[in-house]
């Protein structure tokens, strides 16, 4: 039986199909913004921020557990501060991989949210400004729930990534309250 297509075309087509499927699985993963670019955007016109380190106390880890559902993975966090504005780069697992996100808090309200590194195969829409703009102006409610003052709409197919950013925004607001007080 003879084929209508030469064997090398069929093999090439299958390789393209399989290779394309494999690469599209991680098509949303990538580095979108460096720390320097994030800080430049977050502090434009405010001067160069000074870097600091914040060590999480047992009280802070208890708050992290209330906000994130678990203790934060590290006990020492780097942050940047200029006046009433602070910036935090935090990580949280979406479905299976960490999402590195930058938060700028000004006067106890979220000023800017940017996804710096996205590692998941789905849900990368959370990096888009149409989504992150929803956080602008959000404040943190009081313990024990630490709710946001505004509703953040979800994205179909990105529920776990959306939830990760919601939690991280609450934690960033909590941390800002610790260093600004």
pLDDT tens digits for range 21-68: 333 344 578 899 999 999 999 999 777 788 999 999 999 999 999 999
Radius of gyration of the chain (CA): 20
Residue 33 lies in a domain: yes
Q: What percent of the chain has pLDDT over 90?
A: 75
Dihedrals phi, psi of 120, to nearest 5 degrees: -75, 160
| pTM score, whole prediction | 0.83
Residue 66 lies in a domain: yes
pLDDT tens per residue, range 78-120: 999 998 999 999 999 999 999 999 999 999 999 999 999 999 9
Question: Into how many domains does the chain fold?
Answer: 1
Residue 140 lies in a domain: yes
Residues 123-143: what's their mean pLDDT? 95
Residue 14 lies in a domain: no
Residue 137 lies in a domain: yes
Residue 21 lies in a domain: no
Which residues constitute the domain of residue 121? 29-180
pLDDT tens per residue, range 154-176: 999 899 999 999 999 999 999 99
Residue 12 lies in a domain: no
Q: Give how far Cα 146 sits from Cα of 83, 105, 138, 173, Å.
A: 24, 16, 12, 9
Residue 24 lies in a domain: no
What confidence category does residue 142 fall into, taking pLDDT thresholds of 50, 70 and 90? very high
């Amino acid at each position: 039986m003879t084929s209508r297509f030469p064997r090398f075309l069929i093999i090439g087509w299958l390789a393209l199909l399989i290779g394309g499927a494999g690469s599209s699985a991680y098509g949303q993963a990538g580095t979108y913004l460096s720390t320097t670019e994030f800080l430049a955007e977050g502090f434009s016109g405010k001067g160069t921020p000074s870097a600091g380190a914040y060590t999480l106390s047992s009280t802070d880890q208890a708050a992290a557990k209330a906000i994130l559902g678990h203790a934060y993975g590290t006990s020492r966090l780097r942050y940047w501060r200029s006046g009433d504005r602070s910036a935090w780069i935090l990580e949280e697992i979406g479905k299976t991989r960490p999402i590195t996100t930058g938060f700028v808090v000004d006067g106890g309200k979220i000023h800017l949210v940017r996804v710096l590194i996205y590692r998941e195969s789905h849900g990368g829409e959370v990096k888009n400004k149409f989504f992150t703009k929803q956080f602008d102006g959000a404040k943190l409610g009081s313990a024990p729930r630490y709710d946001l003052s505004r509703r953040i709409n979800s994205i179909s197919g990105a529920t776990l990534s959306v939830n990760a950013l919601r939690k991280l925004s609450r934690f960033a607001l909590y941390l800002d309250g610790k260093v600004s007080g």
